[in-house]
Amino acid sequence: MAFGSISNSLKKTRESVFSKISRLVTAKNKIDEDVLDQIEEILIAGDIGVDTSMFILDKIREQVKKERYDSAQELNRIIHASIAEILSTPTFKMPENKPYVVLVVGVNGTGKTTSIAKLAHFYKSNHKKVILAAADTFRAAAIEQLCLWGERINCDVIRHQANADPAAVVFDAVSAAISRSVDVLIIDTAGRLHTKVNLMSELEKIKKVISRQVTEAPHEVILVLDAGNGQNALSQAREFIKTSGVDSIFLTKLDGTAKGGIVLSIQRELGIPVRYLGVGEKKEDFAIFDAEEFAKALFEGI
Ligand code: GDP
Ligand code: MG
């Protein structure tokens, strides 16, 4: 994806966090404890998280002590470098297993179904054969929504009726993926939080059904988080990590929020890579996360 789109969707985050810090330092023209306190406040208000903000502040302190810091530009360089350090993740590789089974989990409304369509579209654009599984059988509308996306991106959807056993849908989908020689199978799941215990045991059951047919699968469990939920997204993540295991994170709705700093918290405090970004409602509004590009976009024009 073009750098421009990431940059655009981080505009609010940039303005509410990094431009503010830059203006503050330019106005004060030195970094003392008072300025550091104010930087800390801005970082925390920007959903970067206490722990992660402390890490960045320590880096600034270290550097200021060492180099007698004296310009806003220099400060930006230090912050940029510590952010790049936090964000560094292994580069994305196209999957080699076939079928590559992806299980997508997350709370309702975070953007699971839309993100699945984006990911499927991405793989298809890279010449992969993709099918989808409608294992969110809790509401008929959820199945219809995935099927509609399937038509739009020209991708088959394995479905049963509403209220069917999700594990049965998954069983059929994995069988279809094998017999049709599919490269990537992406499974949509329900995410109703109020019956959390059931949801988590349902996910367990789904995972068992998958691994019985394809050893080592699911190859990737993607947790979808809404960036706009800020620090709450982190508590959701902890819940899913504890009970269903999470390999990577798809962070959605970066376009509508000033809370893009949450990427830093997720990466540093959870230790799970943010691999995919959602930056709008269309199938193209998607990016594979790139640490350098992201860090650059946070400081663009500052
Ligand atoms: P699910 O309940 O987790 O499956 O979520 P949906 O895929 O149904 O998405 C919920 C709403 O979020 C829909 O209106 C989507 O269009 C919207 N949405 C999903 N991803 C993004 C995104 O990256 N940016 C924006 N602005 N909206 C998104
Ligand atoms: Mg859905």
Whether ligand 1 lies within 6 angstroms of the CB of 227 is answered as no
**Bond before 218 cis per omega within 30 degrees:** yes
For the chain, domains (ranges, CATH) are 3-87 (1.20.120.140), 100-298 (3.40.50.300)
Between the CA of 239 and the centroid of ligand 2 the distance, in Å, is 19
Q: Strand 220-226 relative to strand 156-158: parallel, antiparallel, unpaired?
A: unpaired
Residue 72 has pLDDT above 90, yes or no: no
Q: Above 80 in pLDDT, residue 97? A: yes
Structure confidence by residue, pLDDT tens digits, 119-143 = 999 999 999 999 999 999 988 999 9
Question: Between the CA atoms of 291, 292, 295 and 299, what dihedral angle is there, to the nearest 10 degrees?
Answer: -160
Intra-chain end-to-end CA distance of the chain, in Å: 22
What six digits make up the tokens of 234?
């982190």
Unique residue bearing structure tokens 């510590």:
82
Spacing, Cα 111 to ligand 1 middle (Å): 4
- 275 CB near ligand 1 (under 6 Å): no
Tokens of residue 69, six digits: 């810091």
Judge whether 104 and 116 are in contact, CB under 8 Å: yes
Q: Say what the pLDDT of residue 3 is.
A: 46
Q: What is the pLDDT of residues 188-198, one digit of tens each?
A: 999 876 556 68
Residue pLDDT, tens place only, 217-275? 999 999 999 999 988 999 999 989 988 889 999 999 999 888 888 999 999 889 899 99
Ligand 1 mutation target, pool 252, 283, 284, 285, most atoms within 8 A of CB = 252
Name the range with the highest mean pLDDT among 4-13, 34-43, 255-264, 275-284. Answer: 275-284
Cβ–Cβ under 8 Å, residues 231 and 269 = no
Whether 114 lines ligand 1, by a CB cut-off of 6 Å, is yes
Instruction: Over range 56-73, report the average pLDDT.
Output: 79
Cβ of 109 below 6 Å from ligand 1: yes
The percent of residues above 70 in pLDDT, for the chain, comes to 95
Strand order in the sheet with 100-105: 156-158, 130-135, 184-189, 100-105, 220-226, 248-252, 274-278, 286-288
With the most atoms of ligand 1 within 8 angstroms of its CB, the residue from 132, 281, 289 to mutate is 281
Of 96-100, 107-111, 191-195, 205-209, the poorest mean pLDDT is in 191-195
Residue 256 CA: nearest ligand 1 atom is 26
- Give the model's pLDDT for residue 231: 87
**Average pLDDT, whole number, for the chain?**
90
Bigger pLDDT: 196 or 206? 206
Residue nearest to atom 9 of ligand 1 (CA): 111
Q: Radius of gyration over alpha carbons of the chain, in Å?
A: 21
Give the model's pLDDT for residue 194: 58
